[in-house]
Amino acid sequence: MGKTSGGRAILPAQSLQTLIDVVHSQGYRLIGPTLEDNAIVYDDLENVENLPLGISDRQSPGNYRLEDDPSAGYFAHVVGPHSWKRFLFPAAQKLWSATRVDQGFSIQTPEDETKLAFIGVRACEIKALQMQDRVFSQGPFTDNGYGEKRQNCLIIAVNCSRAADTCFCSSMDAGPRVTEGFDLALTELQQGRHDFLIETGSANGEALLKELVTRKAEDQDFAEADAQLAATEASIQRRMPSNIPEVLERHLQDEHWQTIESRCLNCSNCTLVCPTCFCSTVEDTTDLTGQHAERWRYWDSCFNTDFSYIHGGSIRQSGAARYRQWITHKLSYWHKQFGTSGCTGCGRCITWCPVGIDITEEAATFCEIDKRS
C-alpha cells in the first residue's frame, strides 16, 4: 500500500452499502465504527446501518460523550476508546497449547486465516499501524501472526471532517489528511449533498473501486475535500512541542514527576487505549491433571508493578517512575529504538484517563521547566 495511486471517484452516500458488500464478497471480515455502550467502538459491520450516522462525539480530558447531530455523516465522530491494534495484536491470544503424550508432549498452535478489512481508519491510526509494524514485523524478531494478519489487511481510510478537543495529530505529523498506507481513502462530503470522494492507494484499492458504480470526481469535489481538511486542521487546539524528546531527557529527576504521581492512578488506561503501545505479558497455565498446558499472551502495561518485576522486586515502584517510563519511552526513547516518536496525537490517553491527565499539558510543563533551567 503506497501513496494515492491515482484512482479517484465519487460514490453517493446512498451507495455506501455496495462498498460493504464488495468487501464482504471478497471474503473479508469487515470491522468498523459502530455505536455500542455509549461510545463509538470498532466491531463487525454487517451493513451500512451499523455505522454511526448522525452521531458525533465530544471529548475532553477524562470525558467522552456522544450526541445526536442530524447533520453528522457516517464518520463525523473522531477516534474512540478502541483502536485497531485489538484485531492485529489481540488483548488475549493463545500462542500454543501442549498435551502430554507417551514420551514428552505435543504442541498445537492455533491457526487463524481470517482476512481483516478495516473501514473508517484515520490518518493517525494508519501512522499507529505503521509504528506497530515496525515493532512486530520489522525488527530482528518478528511476530508472524501479526505480520500475516497485517499483510492481508484491507485498509479503508477516512479523512477527518472534524477534530476532537483532544486531537493533536497535526503536531505529530500524523494527520488529519490520510496520505499513505491505505487501499481506499474516503472523504465524506456533505455541502448540499452526501457523497464520498474515494481515492485509491493500492492495486487492491483500484480493483475494489472498479467493482463500484461511481461517477467521475470533479475539481469542485477536490476543492470541497481540501477545504474540509484545512478546516479540520485549523480547529486542532492541542499540540506537542517539537523539542519534547530532548526536553524530557534533560529533566528526569525534576520534582514535577511527583506532582504527576499525586494525580496518576497508575491504572494503565492510557497505555491500553494507546494505538501504539505494544507491551504484553506471557502466562503459562496448566490444568488440574497436569496433562494439558497453554501459553497465552495478554496486553500488559508499564503502569503495572509486575511489568518491571525482576529478581528481588519491581524496579519501578513509584507512580512517578512508572509515568516517567511511559512518557519518556513514548516521546523520547522511541526515536532511538524505532526512528520515530511513539505518539500519533490521537488524544486517546487524554480522553480515557479517568482523572484527565493530559500528555500535551505535561509536555508543555516540562518545556516551561526547561526554559527556566
Q: How big is the site for another protein, counted in residues (CB under 8 A)?
A: 47
* Peptide linkage before 176 cis (omega within 30 of 0): yes
Looking at beta carbons only, is 212 or 293 nearer to another protein? 293
Shortest Å, Cβ 238 to another protein:
17
Shortest Å, Cβ 149 to another protein:
18
Residue 301, C-beta contacts closer than 8 angstroms, at least 6 positions apart:
268, 271, 272, 277, 279, 307
- Which one among 132, 200, 202, 351 touches another protein, defined by CB under 8 A? 351
User: Which residue, among 209, 157, 156, has the nearest Cα to 178 in the 3D structure?
Assistant: 157
Shortest Å, Cβ 25 to another protein:
27
Shortest Å, Cβ 67 to another protein:
12
Shortest Å, Cβ 351 to another protein:
7
Contacts by 370-373 with C-beta closer than 8 Å and gap 24+? 370/243, 370/247, 370/250, 370/251, 373/250, 373/251
Write out the binding residues for another protein, residues 244-303 only, by CB under 8 A: 262-269, 272-273, 283-290, 298-299, 301, 303
- Which one among 107, 203, 231, 355 touches another protein, defined by CB under 8 A? 355
C-alpha cell read off for 327: 512518557
Distance in angstroms (rounded) separating the CA atoms of residues 236 and 253? 32
Q: Kind of pairing, strands 105-108 and 115-121? A: unpaired
Distance in angstroms (rounded) separating the CA atoms of residues 26 and 278? 30
- Which one among 12, 54, 62, 245 touches another protein, defined by CB under 8 A? 62
Shortest Å, Cβ 37 to another protein:
4
Write out the binding residues for another protein, residues 75-134 only, by CB under 8 A: 81-82, 86, 91-92
Looking at beta carbons only, is 7 or 319 nearer to another protein? 319
Distance in angstroms (rounded) separating the CA atoms of residues 86 and 275? 9
Looking at beta carbons only, is 272 or 327 nearer to another protein? 272
For residues 27 to 56, the per-residue mask of contacts with another protein, x marking binding by CB under 8 A and - elsewhere, is ---------xxxx-x---------------
Cα torsion for 60, 63, 66, 70, to the nearest 10°?
-20
Looking at beta carbons only, is 262 or 373 nearer to another protein? 262
Q: Stretches 62-70, 169-177, 181-189, 202-210: which one binds another protein (CB under 8 A)? A: 62-70
Distance in angstroms (rounded) separating the CA atoms of residues 220 and 226? 10
C-alpha cell read off for 342: 511513539
User: Which residue, among 300, 332, 343, has the nearest Cα to 128 in the 3D structure?
Assistant: 343
Q: Stretches 21-29, 157-165, 215-223, 350-358: which one binds another protein (CB under 8 A)? A: 350-358
* Peptide linkage before 140 cis (omega within 30 of 0): no
Work out whether 63 is an interface residue with another protein (CB under 8 A): yes
Shortest Å, Cβ 170 to another protein:
24
Residue 269, C-beta contacts closer than 8 angstroms, at least 6 positions apart:
349, 352, 353, 354
C-alpha cell read off for 304: 503495572
Shortest Å, Cβ 277 to another protein:
11
Shortest Å, Cβ 218 to another protein:
40
Residue 160 near residue 78 (C-beta atoms within 8 A): yes
- The residues of the shown chain that bind another protein, judged by CB under 8 A, are 36-39, 41, 62-66, 81-82, 86, 91-92, 262-269, 272-273, 283-290, 298-299, 301, 303-306, 317, 319, 351-352, 354-356
